[in-house]
Structure 1
Amino acid sequence: MGIFSFAKDIGDKIFNRDDEKHQANVETNASANTTPEASEPSAQSVANLLLKRIQQQNLDIKELKVKYNGSTDTAEISGKASTQADREKAIIAIGNVQHVAKVIDNIEIEHDAPESTMYTVKSGDTLSKISAEVYGSANEYMKIFEANKPMLSDPNKIYPGQVLRIPKP
């Protein structure tokens, strides 16, 4: 349990706060004498999208709940995870979303295990480079890839600012 920080301007776009359609809605609302904030997605709709994103990871987390605070760009998750890996995958699944700056983790773990290290990808990083740095061998990059599936679909597709879980050697 804890608080994890993420780069809120980087990550998957799962709701339309920055796209052209959203901007058109803001302009339409402004001309209709309504406030632009009215077109912002509600905290509940964002929480529902984040919940769906975790569910798509096929993790074993019972009683999963997600809350979102749009004024602080903070997501809060709770539930009972079967494993430490499921807990960590849930955290990075919603933390690596644009407009999520923090994840407050209140997930309990049924089977205790050592926590992975959270690593923020830097420009020029590859899974092989990270593996060499962490494990002493570039050939261990598949450990990192497997630890971040299904969020990662290709070991060559990581981006600066993305947070990855690095399992203990």
Structure 2
Amino acid sequence: MAIWDFVKDAGKSVFGKAEAAAPATPAAPAPAEAPAQDDTQRKVAALKAELRALNLDGDDVHLRLRGDTVIVESKGADREVLEKLILALGNIEGIAKVEADLPAGAPEPVFHTVKKGQTLSAIAKEHLGDANKYAAIFEANRPMLSDPDKIYPGQVLRIPS
């Protein structure tokens, strides 16, 4: 499996507050592992809900969470969908790494981490040699991007080949 790094403190907040997931009334004492396991299950459910909202939640997409790392398994997704899954999950606040297997023989994807003050045009000039190709980067990152002017520092974008 390949591992991609993301900015853990940047991205969309989907987990909410841990206190919000806690029961309002005290329950019977549980084993020490139960709270951590419940929190992990809650976070995986939030990740799956985000993928569902982006229409990236195929039946064969399975997620596991290990600390701040998401492991993505999908046998039926093509390369483009897998790259979008990696980005959609990695660009969530609290996620630092995403592990996934890309199809064998495929070249490594090109990702770009947005720096303060950058625009899609500047990124297109840097990677594609032409600022006017910003629309290609925008399209390569749909549905995660809804507006080419709404990118933020720390966000990781997919650069089309």
Common fold: TM-score over 0.5: yes
Aligned identity (percent) is 42
- TM-score when scaled to structure 1? 0.78
Match in the other structure for 2:30 = none
Task: Report which of the two has the higher share of strand.
Answer: 1
Match in the other structure for 1:148 = 141
In structure 2, runs of 5+ residues without a counterpart are 27-34
In structure 1, runs of 5+ residues without a counterpart are 30-37
Deviations 1:28-53 (A, max 9, x none): 99xxxxxxxx5997101111111222
Which of 41, 46, 52 does residue 43 from structure 2 map onto? 46
Residues 99 and 40 of structure 1, relative CA distance in 2, 3 Å threshold: farther
SS at match of 1:80: coil
Match in the other structure for 1:98 = 93
Which of 62, 65, 70 does residue 68 from structure 1 map onto? 65
Match in the other structure for 2:109 = 116
The aligned amino acid for 1:46 is K
Pair 1:87-2:79 in alignment: no
Q: What's the Cα RMSD here? A: 2.8
SS at match of 1:55: helix
Match in the other structure for 1:35 = none
SS at match of 1:42: helix
The CA deviation at 1:157 is: 0.3
The alignment covers a number of residue pairs equal to 152
- TM-score when scaled to structure 2? 0.81
Residues 39 and 17 of structure 1, relative CA distance in 2, 3 Å threshold: farther
The CA deviation at 1:87 is: 0.4
Match in the other structure for 1:33 = none
